[in-house]
């Protein structure tokens, strides 16, 4: 699949790098652009502009790693941190706003109560995205860092 604009939501798991690499391959023929998005989920009990310094620092670190990979792969990449109540609707709205042609999600292999789980965000995006969604699931047994609620 080729595209000129692809969105890659990231959350700091190893699968993010694979998703970004796939997105870069998709846009390369069209010399397109990859949008990397890190969503900080702010609890409803706090205002959206609440001080979440630790999460903001983590997001900056994740995006710096993605930007370095983008430079290595020689693609046009734009990275952004976004605050929202829930990551899924924020990713879908960003896809609409940027008129992307695809979303590529990297998902670690996670188990919840012994059963494989995608969490809440990826299924929401799969159900509601206005464009094709590619899911890159990590291999079983990979020891990636996971961040609940984002993938």
Structural domain harbouring 86: 5-137
User: In what helix (H) or strand (E) does residue 127 lie, and over which residues does it extend?
Assistant: helix 121-128
Kindly state whether residue 151 falls inside one of the protein's structural domains: no
**CATH number of the domain where residue 72 is located:** 3.40.50.620
Kindly state whether residue 58 falls inside one of the protein's structural domains: yes
Residue 142 confidence (pLDDT): 58
Residue 139 confidence (pLDDT): 84
DSSP per position, 13-64? -THHHHHHHHHHHHHGGGT-EEEEEEEEEPPTTS-TT---HHHHHHHHHHHH
pLDDT (tens digit, 9 = 90+) per residue, 28-76? 999 999 999 999 999 888 888 888 889 999 999 999 999 999 999 999 9
Joined tokens for residue 131: 């464009």
pLDDT (tens digit, 9 = 90+) per residue, 68-114? 999 999 999 999 999 999 999 999 999 999 999 999 999 988 888 88
pTM: 0.88
Kindly state whether residue 84 falls inside one of the protein's structural domains: yes
| pLDDT score of 150 more than 80 | no
Kindly state whether residue 149 falls inside one of the protein's structural domains: no
Kindly state whether residue 150 falls inside one of the protein's structural domains: no
Number of independent structural domains in the chain: 1
Residue 117 confidence (pLDDT): 83
Q: What percent of the chain has pLDDT over 90?
A: 73
């Amino acid at each position: 699949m080729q595209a000129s604009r692809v969105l890659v939501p990231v959350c700091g798991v190893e699968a993010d790098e694979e998703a970004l690499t796939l997105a870069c391959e998709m846009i390369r023929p069209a010399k397109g652009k990859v949008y990397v998005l890190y969503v900080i989920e702010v609890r409803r009990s706090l205002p959206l502009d609440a001080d979440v310094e630790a999460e903001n620092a983590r997001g900056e670190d994740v995006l710096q790693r993605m930007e370095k990979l983008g430079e290595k792969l020689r693609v046009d990449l734009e990275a952004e941190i976004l605050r929202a109540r829930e990551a899924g609707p924020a990713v879908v709205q960003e896809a609409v706003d940027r008129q992307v042609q695809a979303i590529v999600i990297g998902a670690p292999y996670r188990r919840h109560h012994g059963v494989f789980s995608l969490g809440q965000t990826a299924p929401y995006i799969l159900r509601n995205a206005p464009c094709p969604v590619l899911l890159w699931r990590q291999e079983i047994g990979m020891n990636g860092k996971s961040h609940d609620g984002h993938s």
